[in-house]
Structure 1
Amino acid sequence: MDIVGDIKRTFKEGSALTRLIYINIGVFLLLKIIGVFFYHSGQSIPLYQWLSVPSVTEALVQRPWTPITYMFLHQGFIHLLFNMLGLYWFGQLFLYHFEGDKLLGVYLMGGLWGAFLYIVAYNLFPAFNSVYGLLLGASASVFAILVAIAFYDPNREIHLFFIGRFPLKYVAAFYILLSVIGISSTNPGGNIAHLGGAFWGWFYIYQLRKGKDMGAGLVGFVNKIGEFLAGLFKHKSKMKVTYRKPPRDDHEYNRQKHKQQDEINRILDKIAKTGYDSLTKQEKELLFKQGKK
């Protein structure tokens, strides 16, 4: 079973939604594994403190990366599970109307607006004067996606367990109301961040209808960083590249197509006998390319 290879392939070929979910899960597992090693060594390392957004501006200046890292950070499995379910459900609805770059823009900018409103509130309102808070989680970004798609397609109905079908606009309004009420609960910072994300989701669609993609600049910058990092870690291929000449006539063309179909049939027979995991990497790639035609 080539699990690592399959993960790499689905990450590379998957949508922006797939990649965001993979990154969130990957960060969660990585930090948990690192934590186990430090626990058994008798040491402690404040990983979550260094990656979460602090409410105190002095600490934020020392950790300026946190408004980005916090939106991929989850301390508990239930926290991760519910955020990823929301990201998947609402992200799928978003991708029904828009391409992946726009989803990434709403996710990132929604998270940044959530962090911004959280920092402003904790340093502006007297209720938080003596509170040192830490913000983490993807919920502000998920709220941004939910409100964006609800504002764009308000009457689209979704099925809610044990309740039935409801228009998206009421679902978004309900969650926003819960966040407003929840500011006075045990998680005021998280609920404030939800409202920041919700604002961005509305503002993004409002500007998009005017022809302005307000997240395009950030997404372009992120894509350039991704291309740069990919170039650094890309291994030079040791495979010999050969170029096939195009078929000279219809007879040659039909012969090549017949040969390719025989190979596909052989792979399908192999799957039927021994399962998909028994395929080689080359066989999986050939099957995938054939499926895209």
Structure 2
Amino acid sequence: MSGFVDDIKEAFSRRDNGLIQLILINVFVFLVLLVIQVSFSLAGKPGIYGMILDQIAMKPNLGHILYKPWTLLTYCFVHQQVLHILFNMLFLFWFGQLVQEYLGSRRLVSIYLLGGIFGGLIYLTLYNVVPYFQANLEELNIGASGAVYAVMLGAATLLPNYTFHVLIIGPVRIKYIAAFCVIVSFAQIPGTNAGGNIAHLSGALFGYLYIRMLRRGIDLGQPVEAVLDFFKRLFAREPRPTMQVKYRSQTRTSFTTYSTTTEDYPGDEEIDAILDKISKSGYESLTREEKQKLYKASQKN
């Protein structure tokens, strides 16, 4: 048991490990809610579980969101069914790996959180504006699907021709996988899970827009990163002061200064070599550094 706890601590202490941290948070919340649900059901008080769920799940009722605004974020970490969390976490892992490797852990977390919030806002708006949905203002909306769709469309917009090997079918470009999921969600809007499918599509739209704006030099995730940095500094342990002993030297040391004002863009020869490697071995053969250089080159005017 201690080894399991140590593994979790290590996962959260490592830098650039946002993907695994998001998955662990989702799994932890699922297990805690599962224990609470089973325990109170056996005790003959299932209503207590419903009260707890009401504090973290989202409702399109405006009164609910005004009194519990945090549910706009917490709902995308809540699951009740095993298959629901299983498929969400698998999709998050598959597509999140691409985003994290190419754009970094912080931007992956930003896409996930903002995609979930954006999906919740569109869901809230449509349920209060479109008459078709107004009979269901008390329904609960939970699940990471909107946030996961944001990550999926972000990866598909970033690397549309990257291929996944799908069981039975074989290699499929991720842009087609993403398009299939979007079409299925759109077709199911009139069904019983209309709110969930609206969140899917809204999250997908955000993931697409995030990458498009990022290519223009606008990072929509900067506010999220600023908030995360604030809490990181708030809970960070203050380092112990260390004693330093300095000795005066009789010899003068000359220093050479280097200019850091220019953007560190890769040269044309480097890019040509990377493109040759892609043509010979495919995009998957590139190292993380080569992918980042290719991305920087795409931002160069």
Instruction: Normalising by structure 2, report the TM-score.
Output: 0.74
CA–CA distance in structure 1, aligned partners of residues 27 and 64 of structure 2: 27
1:226 to 1:47, Cα distance in 2 relative to 1, 3 A: farther
Deviates more, 1:133-142 or 1:38-47: 38-47
Which residue number corresponds to residue 22 of structure 2? 20
CA–CA distance in structure 2, aligned partners of residues 42 and 110 of structure 1: 38
Name the count of aligned residue pairs: 237
Matched, 1:179 2:217: no
1:89 pairs, out of 90, 94, 112, with: 94
Gaps of 5+ in 1: 244-293
Contact 1:11 1:22 in 2 (8 A): no
| One-letter amino acid of the structure 1 residue matched with residue 180 of structure 2 | F
1:227 to 1:74, Cα distance in 2 relative to 1, 3 A: farther
2:121 pairs, out of 106, 116, 119, with: 116
CA–CA distance in structure 2, aligned partners of residues 230 and 119 of structure 1: 36
Which residue number corresponds to residue 6 of structure 2? 5
Identity in percent: 38
Which residue number corresponds to residue 143 of structure 1? 149
| One-letter amino acid of the structure 2 residue matched with residue 12 of structure 1 | S
2:162 pairs, out of 130, 151, 156, with: 156
| Pairs within 5 Å for 1:1-293 | 2-13=3-14, 15-43=17-45, 44-45=47-48, 46-131=51-136, 132-231=138-237
CA–CA distance in structure 2, aligned partners of residues 228 and 38 of structure 1: 36
CA–CA distance in structure 2, aligned partners of residues 65 and 230 of structure 1: 24
Contact 1:71 1:138 in 2 (8 A): yes
| One-letter amino acid of the structure 2 residue matched with residue 94 of structure 1 | V
Give the CA deviation at 1:78: 1.2
Please list the CA deviations of residues 34-88 of structure 1 after superposition, one character each: whole Å capped at 9, or x if unmatched: 3344334443322222211101111111111101100110011111111111110
- SS state at 2:164 partner: strand
Contact 1:204 1:213 in 2 (8 A): yes
1:149 to 1:31, Cα distance in 2 relative to 1, 3 A: same
1:137 to 1:230, Cα distance in 2 relative to 1, 3 A: farther
- SS state at 1:159 partner: strand
Please list the CA deviations of residues 247-284 of structure 1 after superposition, one character each: whole Å capped at 9, or x if unmatched: xxxxxxxxxxxxxxxxxxxxxxxxxxxxxxxxxxxxxx
CA–CA distance in structure 1, aligned partners of residues 186 and 119 of structure 2: 14
Please list the CA deviations of residues 200-256 of structure 1 after superposition, one character each: whole Å capped at 9, or x if unmatched: 10110111001111111112202322442455xx9x99xxx999xxxxxxxxxxxxx
CA–CA distance in structure 2, aligned partners of residues 8 and 129 of structure 1: 44
Please list the CA deviations of residues 179-201 of structure 1 after superposition, one character each: whole Å capped at 9, or x if unmatched: 11010111000000011101110
CA–CA distance in structure 2, aligned partners of residues 219 and 79 of structure 1: 28
CA–CA distance in structure 1, aligned partners of residues 219 and 77 of structure 2: 23
The two structures, once aligned, show a CA RMSD in angstroms of 2.1
Please list the CA deviations of residues 138-177 of structure 1 after superposition, one character each: whole Å capped at 9, or x if unmatched: 0111100111111111111111111111111111111110
Contact 1:114 1:192 in 2 (8 A): yes
CA–CA distance in structure 1, aligned partners of residues 168 and 75 of structure 2: 33
- SS state at 1:166 partner: strand
CA–CA distance in structure 2, aligned partners of residues 95 and 2 of structure 1: 26
Give the CA deviation at 1:29: 1.1
- SS state at 1:165 partner: strand
Instruction: Normalising by structure 1, report the TM-score.
Output: 0.76
CA–CA distance in structure 2, aligned partners of residues 92 and 206 of structure 1: 19
CA–CA distance in structure 2, aligned partners of residues 171 and 3 of structure 1: 34
CA–CA distance in structure 1, aligned partners of residues 235 and 207 of structure 2: 29
| One-letter amino acid of the structure 2 residue matched with residue 129 of structure 1 | Q
CA–CA distance in structure 2, aligned partners of residues 127 and 69 of structure 1: 26
